[in-house]
Structure formats: structure tokens, C-alpha cells
Amino acid sequence: MTLAAWGNLPAAPAADERAWAERRAVLPAVDGTLLPYGNGRSYGDVCLNSGATLLRMRGLDRFIAFDAQSGVLVCEAGVLLADILDVFVPRGWFLPVTPGTRFVTVGGAIANDVHGKNHHRAGTFGRHVRRFELLRSDGSRRVCSPDENAEWFAASIGGLGLTGLITWVEIELKRIEGPCVVVENTRFTGLDEFFALNAAAEARHEYTVAWIDCLAATPRGIFMAGDHAEAAAAVAEARKPLTFPLTPPISPINALTLRAFNFAYYHRPLPAKAVQHYAPYFYPLDGILHWNRMYGRQGFYQYQCVLPLSARDALEDVLRSIAASGQGSFLAVLKTFGELASPGLLSFPMPGMTLALDFPNRGDATRALFERLDAIVGAAGGRLYAAKDARMSGEFFRRSYPRFNEFSGFVDPKFSSDFWRRVTK
């Protein structure tokens, strides 16, 4: 089995893939460098270590303890967020922050300091991590928290697996009454309407996000605001997930199918307010396992940027550039980040607007578009998300993450990744 990243972009495989499943064991002695690999949902190359060793962490998947009064859960770093939800939603607990897929490991969620639809209320995942144990290649183990080994804590959150291996984690779950969410959907045309809707929604709702049609001449989309529903509202979870069984030689995603899809999706009958099971609201794509295969053998890129709140013009520029290029996919998401500080040295969110889109890999054309977008984002003081990135220049990354130098001091000498080698070139 060759471990890959979610984007399926061409990449040289690791020389060695080893399972590591005993949290008290020592790290293996290897010739080259190591990198922990969770569930491979990072899009680009933060989870790859070509020509070197990947440690498969999914075997480190046991729960350790749970306090039913406080909601504090201790578990090994290879546990999936999906496992936590399966066990604890029926008992009335939810993740304090969740990204758009539940098939990521707790270790991966920390290493990328993931964020969710409630960033404006709850900040990033790292804000809800109380403690974790960090194992370094020299055999040392540190329990890290905001109060103990605090500098290691800050380096490892968003630390892309480079500061060492996270063995176990203590997080705080939050109470919910039932498994459903109440969702309000509103169509909008133009960014002004988006921002007006967004401001009103953030004040009243816990979860806010917009799907956006990236090919329309004037940006338009659907704003979805959600809240956990009370216990009485009960909707059964959908039938078993489908799976995209193989990688088609030619991707069905192209300019024609995209326009058709976006048109139909925008105009589909949309209830103003509905009660849904949590799964389709938080994890719309998890319902199709291996959906990334639909981009074909060339794979795809994800481009996710954040722009400061003041940079609305830059956001319009970015959207215009994308629309003009004719590239893109139907998976385009727009959300605003709130003021809550992210705890990691390399955490991605800043107060502002984040836009995330998939792009089929059209080679030079796609990369040329990204260069143009980088220029707009960089000039506006924004940055890109490492977890999604496969090609930004090292210079842009180092420039846009002011604590990069500070972080470098915490990288374990025996740990590395394709991403790290790329951005430190």
C-alpha cells in the first residue's frame, strides 16, 4: 500500500511505511527521516515524506479515559474524529471544533490546527486541546499544555507533524442535546449580500458557511447557518456511504459539467429552514468515500487562502481571476474567521475571510492561476493553508507566517516532510 495525500497529485512514494501502534514504544531507528501519517486527508504534501519513512499511525487508535461529567476525553493520536462521534454523539457529546471531514486523526487535527464552521465562536481545534504527549526522536517525552512545556505546545499545534510524534491527546468535548442540526439556507448574489447575511448570521448562529459558485460572473451562492437542535428533533442518519470505486482515466469534471452543476446546485429547491442529521451538514462529502478519485489520475489541487477583513477588494480580485480562468470545481467554500487567536505558531486562520476551492490538475495552467492568486493574496497580507497546499513557494510561506523562524527551532532533526523540504529550500 503506498500512502498518498488526498489530492492524488504525482508524488514519489516513501521508501518505507511502518506501523507504529504502541504509545509506550520507542520510535524506530531509520536511516533517513520520519513523518507520522494519520489518515491522509491533507490535500498536498504535508503528510508525505518521499524517499524516507512514514509512520502509519492508524493503529494507535485506542481510547484511554473519558470523564462523563466534564466531557474530557483522553485518547491515542490515531483515533479518528469519526470514532469519537460514533461513540459520543449518542451520549450527548460533540467535537468542539470539526473540519469538513470526520475521517482525520486527532493527531492530524492538531498538526494542521483544523478549523470549522464555528470558528467565529470557538476558534481552532487547538484551542480545545488541553494536553498531549510529544515523543521526540531522541526518546524524550514531554507532556505539553498551555501551562507545561508551553512553547512545545504552541509549536506542535499546527506543527505539521514536524516537532515530534503526538502519542496521546486530552480534549474537551462539548454537550449537545441530540444528533441533529437546524439549518437555515439563504441564496445570495454578490459579495455585499454575502457579508450582510454573514454579519447577521454570526451573531445568531453557531455554525456559518457559504457554498459559492466560482464560475458565475457575479459571485453567487448559498449561505448555510446551523445550530445543534434540541433532543426532540430526530432524523435518522443517511444510509451507508457510497464509494467512488475507481479512478477514472478522464475526470468527469470539466468546464461544461461544472457550469451545469453549479447552475443546478444554486437553483435546486432549498428549504429555508430544515432539520438534518449532523453528518450531511458537517460532512457533506464523507457520504461518498474516496470522492477524490473523481478528479481522475492527474489528481487535483486545493487552494485555500485567508484574507484580512479589510481586503474585500482582494477577495473580489481572487474570485474574478478564478471565474476568468474557467478553472475550478463545484466545491467552493467561503467563510469568515473570527477574532479568537489560534494557539499554534503556524496556525492558518487570521481574522478575515477564507475561500477554499478544488481545482482539477491541469498542470501549468492551474499552477499559473495559482501564481496570480498568490500575488493577490500576498499583496493583501493574506496567506495559504499548508494542509491544502502542494505548490506555494517557500518564500511566500515564510513571508506569510511571521513565526516561521521561531517554529524552525522546534523541528525534530529526524523528522521531515515533502512540504517542509519544499518550503525551506
Partner 1 sequence: MQKILIVGATSAIAEATARLWAARGEALFLVGRNGARLEAIAADLRVRGAVSVGCLAMDATDRAAHAAMLEAATAALGGLDVALIAHGTLPDQKACEASVELTLREIDNNGLSVVALAMLLATRFEAQGHGTLAAIGSVAGDRGRQSNYVYGAAKGMLDLFLQGLRNRLAKKGVQVLTIKPGFVDTPMTASFKKGALWAQPADIARGILRAIEQRRDVVYLPGFWRLIMAIIRHIPERIFKRLSL
The 53-56 sheet, strands edge to edge: 16-19, 53-56, 34-37
Nearest approach, Cβ of residue 272 and partner 1 (Å): 37
Beta-strand runs (E) in 136-179: 141-144, 165-172, 174-175
Are 294 and 244 contacting, i.e. CB atoms less than 8 angstroms apart? yes
Exactly one of 66, 195, 261, 404 binds partner 1 (CB under 8 A); that residue is: 66
> How far is 112 from 133, CA to CA, in rounded Å?
17
For the CB of residue 170, give the shortest distance to partner 1 in the complex, in Å: 13
Instruction: Out of 26, 32, 51, 65, point to the residue binding partner 1 (CB under 8 A).
Output: 65
Cβ proximity to partner 1, 61 vs 286, nearer residue = 61
Q: Interface with partner 1 by CB under 8 A: which range of 55-63, 259-267, 301-309, 378-386?
A: 55-63
Nearest distance, CB of residue 408 and partner 1, angstroms: 35
The answer to the question of residue 30 lying near partner 1 (CB under 8 A) is: no
Residue from 12, 26, 64, 379 binding partner 1 (CB under 8 A): 64
Could you tell me the smallest distance in angstroms from the CB atom of residue 65 to partner 1?
7
Q: 5: closest CA among 243, 306, 300, 361?
A: 300
Q: What helix, strand, coil percent values describe the chain, rounded to 5?
A: 30, 25, 45
Report the residue number, 246 or 250, with the smaller CB distance to partner 1.
Answer: 246
- The sign of the dihedral angle between the CA atoms of 84, 88, 90, 93 is negative
DSSP state of 177: S
What part of residues 147-176 is at the interface with partner 1 (CB under 8 A)? none
Which residue's CB is nearer to partner 1, number 56 or number 383? 56
The CB density around residue 333, as the number of other CB atoms within 10 Å, is: 18
- Least Å distance, CB 130 to partner 1, is 17
**Nearest CB to partner 1, comparing residues 64 and 341:** 64
CB of 11 to partner 1, least distance (A): 20
- Cβ distance to partner 1 smaller for residue 52 or 75: 75
Smallest gap from residue 63 Cβ to partner 1 (A): 4
CB of 237 to partner 1, least distance (A): 15
Residues in the chain: 425
Q: Could you tell me which of 122, 4, 105, 43 has the C-alpha nearest to residue 356?
A: 43
Binding-site member from 3, 50, 63, 172 for partner 1 (CB under 8 A)? 63
**Contact between 199 and partner 1 per CB under 8 A:** no
> Cβ(18)–Cβ(28) under 8 Å?
yes
Which range in 61-69, 252-260, 268-276, 289-297 contacts partner 1 by CB under 8 A?
61-69
DSSP 105: B
Nearer to partner 1, 93 or 397 (CB): 93
Our CB check for partner 1 shows the closer of 131 and 205 to be 131
Tell me, residue by residue from 121 to 150, as one string, x for binding to partner 1 by CB under 8 A and - for no binding: ------------------------------
- The site for partner 1, by CB under 8 A, has a size of 15
- Rounded Cα–Cα distance for residues 114 and 282 (Å): 14
**Residues 398 and 423 sit within 8 Å (Cβ to Cβ):** yes
Other C-beta atoms lying within 10 Å of the C-beta of residue 196? 13
| Least distance to partner 1, CB of residue 40, Å | 16
Which lies closer to partner 1 via its Cβ, residue 20 or residue 410? 20
Is the CB of 23 or the CB of 120 nearer to partner 1? 23
Q: How far is the CB of 240 from partner 1 (least distance, A)?
A: 12
- Residue 109 backbone phi and psi in degrees, to 5: -65, -35
* Pairwise CA distance, residues 318 & 377, whole Å: 8
Cell output for 202: 454570526
In the complex, the smallest distance separating the C-beta of residue 425 from partner 1, rounded to whole angstroms, is 35
For residue 352, how far is the Cα from the chain centroid? 17
Closest CA to 222 of 189, 195, 255, 192: 189
**Contact letters (x/-) for partner 1, 7-26, by CB under 8 A?**
------------x-xxxx--
Q: Does 1 bind partner 1 (CB under 8 A)?
A: yes
In this chain, which of 87, 235, 274, 289 binds partner 1, going by CB under 8 A? 87
Sorted by sequence, the CB contacts under 8 Å of residue 388 that are 6+ apart come out as 42, 43, 44, 302, 303, 304, 356
**Chain positions contacting partner 1, by CB under 8 A:** 1, 19, 21-24, 59, 62-66, 73, 75, 87
